[in-house]
Amino acid sequence: MSKTNIENLFETYIKTKNGKITLKNNIINVTYPNKQEPEKYTYSPFIGREQKIPLISPGSPAFQQILRECQKNGITCQIRLNPKENIETNIKQYFKDTKTVCIDCDKITIEQKTINICTKQKNCYHQINNGKIVQIKTGKQEAIRYFQFHYTVTFHNKLRPKNEEIITIWLDENANVSETHFDNCNSITDKNILFSEDKSKVKPGLFDQLKETADKLLQNLICEKVALFNLPLNREKNFRLRAFEKRLKQERREQILSHKRDFDPLKWQNNYQTLLKKEEESYLTNISIKLVNFLVINTYKIKFDLILNNNALIHSTLTLGLNQPIEVTCPICKKKFAEGYATQDSLYVCKNCIKQSIDSNKIYSKKVNLSLDNLLNEYIEQDTGFICTVCRKRYSHLLEFKCSHDNSSICIQHYDFCDICGNEKTYSKDNLTYTNEFKHQLCPKHTKKIQI
């Protein structure tokens, strides 16, 4: 906290208690209506030590006491997020039109080659393949708020050390659980986002509604965490309870053997059940919960279009400051995807909705009518490939052979070799002659020689 913020907080605190502040020689004199003598404070550590005056600075006892009193009335922190320059810069960092790596994710080395693997639940960015971003158009901006309830939960049990956990619950303005989160580290270090204090208020009715929802969610989470906390304790707990019960029964046996006249079995049984229940309750896990912070984040949801060099549009929305990637919906299958392809027919679609020509390597959407090479089970353009002179079917150039006799195109199913030429030359089966005498197949050249 800067000195100015500390002074503003201190002055505001004094005003809420109807106090007046006068400053002289770095000593703060605070006068209250119901007190005759003023209270003295200082911002200077030197004066605080020399004159033994309470110091107002981070960590000092006087300042911490002020914070504790403020916390009794609720802890509210509200910020607003704005882009420092233009929103297009923020949008572009979530889209990559070249191969890139995630800095914060894992790296593995295979055969001296480093491979980057994104270990997050969702990819850090949206990958654009086969296209480049040429323009970004922004549309309507909608103000939106998110609310963070920050709890500390402490678990106490005499069978194991005390355990403290921090539980954070995010809600939107409709008191719905928000799956979106603001990564404090990434957001604070983001050079494109400007943080500022927000003076707007949260209505009491809205806060009560949010708090009720957050408490219910917290209760469910705590039930799960208590079960996990108690799981390794059950065996030790049962062992100690059996030992305690055995000790009680041993005492009963000793009293019976001592022939005491005042021994009452019914009274002993009632005491036995009471002591056993009390001992069992002593092994229960106690929970203490404290709401340590209520954070309100005011930000914007922005609609935008990315125009690619194939004239395709990527339509999506961005919530400024969120640490999750932007969602893009495929225009064909309507599913959300994290990696897409710009197609020859001016669309941007997911991997499941593309067709790629095996001849030209061009990528089309599955709306385009391409020819199917039945042998390869791969697509080719309708005006590419070749037509076999034997079967008259169209195939990919990958299956094309040239006849050494007339240079005609033939497919892999309709070429063969001359038994005399060997494997050096390929021929169309239409140009080979089969002889019954030696059961040979011959090219036109060697067929003439045999006839002569």
Would you list the domain boundaries of the chain?
3-73, 89-97+124-225+290-341, 230-286, 378-451
* Radius of gyration for the alpha carbons in the chain, expressed in angstroms and rounded: 40
Give the CA distances from residue 394 to residues 295, 375, 390, 422, in Å, rounded to whole numbers and listed in that order. 66, 10, 11, 28
* Sign, CA torsion 95/97/100/105: positive
Is residue 404 within 8 Å of 425, Cβ to Cβ? yes
- CA 420 to centroid of chain Cα atoms: 69
Helix (H) or strand (E) holding 360: none
* Sign, CA torsion 100/104/108/109: positive
Look up tokens 């593309």; give the residue: 354
Is residue 316 within 8 Å of 282, Cβ to Cβ? no
Half-sphere exposure of 38 (CA within 13 A, CB side): 15
- CA 19 to centroid of chain Cα atoms: 48
DSSP-based helix, strand, coil % in the chain, nearest 5: 30, 35, 35
Q: Where are the beta strands (DSSP E) in 178-285?
A: 193-197
pTM of the model: 0.62
> How many angstroms separate the CA atoms of 178 and 176, rounded?
6
Look up residue 49 and give its DSSP letter. H
Phi, psi dihedrals of residue 433, rounded to the nearest 5°: -110, 135
pLDDT the model gives residue 320: 85
Give the CA distances from residue 351 to residues 175, 342, 364, in Å, rounded to whole numbers and listed in that order. 36, 10, 11
Q: Which CATH architecture group holds 378-451?
A: Ribbon (2.10)
Helix (H) or strand (E) holding 188: helix 184-189
Q: What b/e sequence results for 24-60 when a residue is b if at least 16 CB atoms lie within 10 Å of its CB, and e otherwise?
A: eeebbebeeeeeeebeebbbbeebbeeeebbbbeeee
- CA 14 to centroid of chain Cα atoms: 43
Could you tell me the mean pLDDT of each successive run of 10 residues in the chain, 452 residues long?
Answer: 73 88 89 88 90 88 84 72 84 84 69 69 79 93 90 90 89 80 52 80 85 93 91 88 88 75 77 88 90 87 94 91 80 93 95 92 92 87 88 89 92 89 88 79 81 59
> How many angstroms separate the CA atoms of 452 and 449, rounded?
5
In the chain the first and final C-alpha atoms are separated, in Å, by 108
pLDDT the model gives residue 1: 44
Token pair recorded at residue 241: 């309870």
